[in-house]
Structure 1
Amino acid sequence: METYSVKRYPVAPGVRLNVRSGPGTNYGIVKVLPEGVSVPVNCQTPGQWVTGTYGTSNIWDNIGNGQYVSDAYVRTGSDGYVTVRCA
């Protein structure tokens, strides 16, 4: 099994980010992140297109079990995938 360390990335400044149960705004809100936090990106998956602080993206970041945030609000330094795809 491949092991790798999970990197944390900052959420866009001034944003209280909705955490959803799946990769789209049609999924329920699990919680809301406070401003100024960094999130662990465990894996990434394609989902609904969202326009946010860092452009328009269909990549959703898994930050915990059943917890997804739009990559358009997370500063990963890339418009593409920065870690493994979610299984």
Structure 2
Amino acid sequence: MSVDHTEEAGTDTAQAVEATASVRYYSIAPGVRVNVRSGPGTSYAITRTLPEGAKVPIYCQTPGTTVTGTYGTSNIWDNISDGEFVADAYVLTGSDGYVADRCG
């Protein structure tokens, strides 16, 4: 029975590595410290603040509060960690639209 458990754990680990390998990192706008929020909007609590020059992964994106930032005005929010979002208007993605799958 322990052999089956080990094989399953190995498969889960391989899938996690594969999923992580496909995540791209993006730069936060220069000279800006960006608030990380617990949800996709300015009404959500600030969980931390990213320092100038930070790079973030984008796991998925979702619509939320419209924000005007360095890279324009957008209602797209980037999920950068479990329960953590930043306004896409402050992230250099090279696009005005979605660059990752929608959250959900």
Aligned-partner Cα distance in 2 for 1:14–1:22: 24
Structure 1 unmatched ranges of 5 or more: none
Q: What is the correspondence of 1:9-24 to structure 2 with a 5 Å cutoff?
A: 9-24=26-41
Per the normalisation by structure 2, the TM-score is: 0.80
Determine the C-alpha separation between the residues in 1 that align with 2:100 and 2:45.
24
Matching of residue 71 in structure 1 with residue 88 in structure 2? yes
Structure 1 length normalisation: TM-score? Answer: 0.95
The Cα shift of 1:85 comes to: 0.3
Moved >4 Å (runs of 4+): 1-4
| Aligned pairs, number | 87
Q: How does 1:17-56 map to 2 (within 5 A)?
A: 17-56=34-73
Higher relative contact order (CA 8 A, sep 6+): 1
Bigger radius of gyration: 2
State the Cα RMSD in Å: 1.4
Structure 1 CA distance for aligned equivalents of residues 63 and 46 of structure 2: 18
How far residue 59 of structure 1 moved from its aligned partner, in angstroms, is 0.1
> In structure 2, how many angstroms separate the alpha carbons of the residues matched to 1:55 and 1:16?
16
For structure 2, which runs of at least 5 residues remain unmatched after alignment?
A: 1-14
Q: 1:28: how far off?
A: 0.3
Q: Deviations over 1:36-55 (max 9, x none)?
A: 01100000000000000000
Q: Following the alignment from structure 1 to structure 2, what is the Cα–Cα distance between the partners of residues 54 and 79?
A: 8
Partner SS for 2:89: helix
